[in-house]
Chains A and B, each alone.
Chain A
């Protein structure tokens, strides 16, 4: 549960995810999606309730701590440093140093970071110019960098908040393929999106939030648009 003053943003929003699973998290504006995610990635503390990781309870004090546990987030506004290139962004805050005295002086090992960045991007099927600043890239490429950064460091769960909101059709397809590859690596992916057809295409399960509560939990094949909309607006109660 999470309260903001008198507003209960979350009340009984049970949520679970397994490795190798993609769960779509949908709901109308204000349903509590963002709040639920910010609690699960350590951005905010819940007022009540618990978080279990591999079955044992954890308390997440900060996003850094969540990250250390292998939980990463792809933010809606990407959170990239525009003037830096892709490798610099992938390793931002987790830079690799040179060996020996130089490393102790804080000298970066740029070629090691570049090599590992290119391995990661290749593995996820993303191609881009590693020497160009992120600002010079297309929306899809930028999104790929944001996603790859999260995936490169996540060992358990990746949360994606509207990863395709600003993208065209082709680029959206790329990101969906990327999500499938991440799932195939055994990570759990939580996809928050307003685009219901996109969620249906990639999710193994769709959770619907309404007024801070889980309103429905549907398999993609049973989740017709009418059913989802009904669950989001409260016309459908007690599925799940």
Chain B
């Protein structure tokens, strides 16, 4: 059984920039040549006390909590980036059937997990 382990595959920024991400089963108009299994990226970020105080104040007047929105979207971006890096490491150029999952494992921290199947399409 041939196991091909690539040490430090340098997909580089180019690979990351052009990767395709979808949450459907295939890329329309392209063929899937090979797949590399599951790839995932996770992150856990905490907000600082400043945002905490602003949030408590906002609890009184209502409105969008911009601080938290930023925090969560940064988390999502970082999780996706990590997943993409792992996919590029394996030699993929697309990740299909991407799923996000969040869980509250700590108060005041946003934990985000992105996983999908790394494939090479043409």
The answer to whether A and B assemble together is no
Residue positions of A touching B, CB distance < 8 A = none
State the B residues within 8 Å of A (CB): none
